[in-house]
Amino acid sequence: MSPLEPFQWMTIVWVFVLGTCLGSFLNVCIYRIPRHADLWSQLKGLGSPPSTCPKCSNRIPARDNIPLLGWLKLGGRCRFCRTRISFRYPAIELFNGLLLVVLYWFEVPLDFESSWQFTADIVHSCVYSPRGPQNAELMSDMLLMHLRFVLHLVLVESLVAATFIDLDRMEIPDATTVPAMLVAVVASGASGVMYLVPVWFQDAAQLQSLALILPDALHPLLGGSSNPAWIAEYPRLHGLAASLAGLVVGGGSVWTVRIIGHAILRREAMGFGDVVLMAMIGSVIGWQPVLVVFFLAPVTALVIVVVQLVLRRNREFPYGPYLSLATLLLLLGWKQIWPVAEPIFSLGLLVPVLGVFTAIMLAACLALVQGAKLLLGIPLYPDEQPVAEWLPADQLGYLAGENVDAWQGRWRMPAETRWGGEAASRGQQAENIWRYGGASRPSSSLRPPGTEGRRSR
């Protein structure tokens, strides 16, 4: 065992403790944020009122809010009223602690073989690429990895909160995405080293080889330098541009699917919360990685969604958890995923052309599906139900159902002056006899009001 190894393990322990503490805060976010409508109310509601038991309303002491240990010490019950506390709270704390340990382990690969020098080789980091910011030489590799880990920590925590809220309520509130988006834009512009790959690059040799097969109209798009000079000359401006480009492309990709799906399917294909979520992801990792997330998310959702469609017949499902899972897989497997995607993004100005072509193909595929449904006699829009006309008889039936008791909202007349047939016609005669003690004379002798002076022939 090297002399420094205990300190390295201590670092992992501290990361786990930090993760559990943040997991406790995430429990507050998951519970409180959806209870408010706008962003400011959601953020303000995180600090007040203090944590209380939902049943007995007693304020929870600070010692009971210690992550994991507080729940175990109380045996999973409230200190005051002994109401059971959901196992979900310590489970999220434990899950978040382990998640941050995995993220730190992969992003900051500590050197366990060195004797006295606390170092880590950035080449072994899971988010390393030869085009990365380590070539800018603005700071040491160790500092770069830790700063980028902190930014990715903010991203992951936002994804965890958004995932559980989306699973519970089929919505992604702004408080889970907008603050992290602002942090990413500011941090990227201030440091200039938070990006995974530059905002723009192209492979000149690859483009020249494509010139032989592409039409002449696209040849003007094949020129230009491989790496623009302003990226190295203005690193902080480039960091800001990379973050903003990721924000626009991430949100725009989902927004495009939302528009195409609504135009052809006449239903909401993607929620607006998914748009903001992808914009937040793109502001952290850049526009090229966020497009990889966009195409990776359906793969992660395929098996679960198919099972859900077969067993539950549910056509609507939250998509935010799969976007979050795809983002996490991208971060941990970046060194394996990027070599596959890099040739596509090396095409320079041809990449936007491919994006437009992909959108057109998506619209064509959805139109073909609708055409096949029309030929098979399947309703194109099954959720659309004809609105029936509300007739006077419907209104009378509605009022009769809402006002079952004839004396609701009115003074109850004495039994001697009431007509007994009215209660019988409503099926309330037996209930009236039980509730009010019946009448002084049989109900058959009661006449409608106004007929007491009349004599029968």
pLDDT of residue 231: 87
Q: Among 213-217, 260-264, 300-304, 439-443, which is the least confidently predicted range?
A: 439-443
pLDDT of residue 177: 96
Average pLDDT over residues 225-251: 90
pLDDT of residue 387: 54
pLDDT of residue 47: 82
Average pLDDT over residues 285-312: 85
pLDDT of residue 115: 45
Whether residue 411 is predicted with pLDDT greater than 50 in this model: the reply is yes
pLDDT of residue 446: 43
> Which comes out higher in pLDDT, residue 361 or 269?
361
- 360/391 Cα distance (integer angstroms): 46
Tell me the pLDDT band of 53, cut-offs 50, 70 and 90: confident
Question: Other C-beta atoms within 10 Å of 232: how many?
Answer: 12
> Which comes out higher in pLDDT, residue 457 or 103?
103
> Which comes out higher in pLDDT, residue 438 or 37?
37
Instruction: Check whether the bond before 298 is cis (ω within 30° of 0).
Output: no
Average pLDDT over residues 247-267: 91
Q: Among 24-28, 335-339, 374-378, which is the least confidently predicted range?
A: 374-378
pLDDT of residue 407: 67
> Which comes out higher in pLDDT, residue 421 or 302?
302
Average pLDDT over residues 366-373: 88
User: What are the residue boundaries of the structural domains of the chain, listed by start?
Assistant: 1-120, 170-385, 397-445
Handedness of CA 34, 38, 41, 47 (dihedral sign): positive
Tell me the pLDDT band of 445, cut-offs 50, 70 and 90: very low
Tell me the pLDDT band of 16, cut-offs 50, 70 and 90: very high
- 172/161 Cα distance (integer angstroms): 9
pLDDT of residue 323: 95
Say if residues 203 and 346 touch (Cβ distance below 8 Å).
Answer: yes
pLDDT of residue 452: 47
Q: What is the pLDDT of residues 72-90, one digit of tens each?
A: 998 888 888 888 988 999 9
Whether residue 443 is predicted with pLDDT greater than 60 in this model: the reply is no
Q: What is the pTM of this model?
A: 0.79
Listed in sequence order, the residues at least 6 apart from 173 whose beta carbon sits closer than 8 Å to its beta carbon are 33, 34, 36, 39, 42, 162, 165, 273
Tell me the pLDDT band of 204, cut-offs 50, 70 and 90: confident
pLDDT of residue 10: 84
Average pLDDT over residues 195-217: 81
Tell me the pLDDT band of 127, cut-offs 50, 70 and 90: very high
Q: Which of 152, 139, 245, 247 is nearest to 191 (CA)?
A: 139
Average pLDDT over residues 342-347: 90
Average pLDDT taken over every residue of the chain? 83
> Which comes out higher in pLDDT, residue 389 or 93?
93
- 378/286 Cα distance (integer angstroms): 42
Q: Among 71-85, 94-108, 248-262, 294-308, which is the least confidently predicted range?
A: 294-308
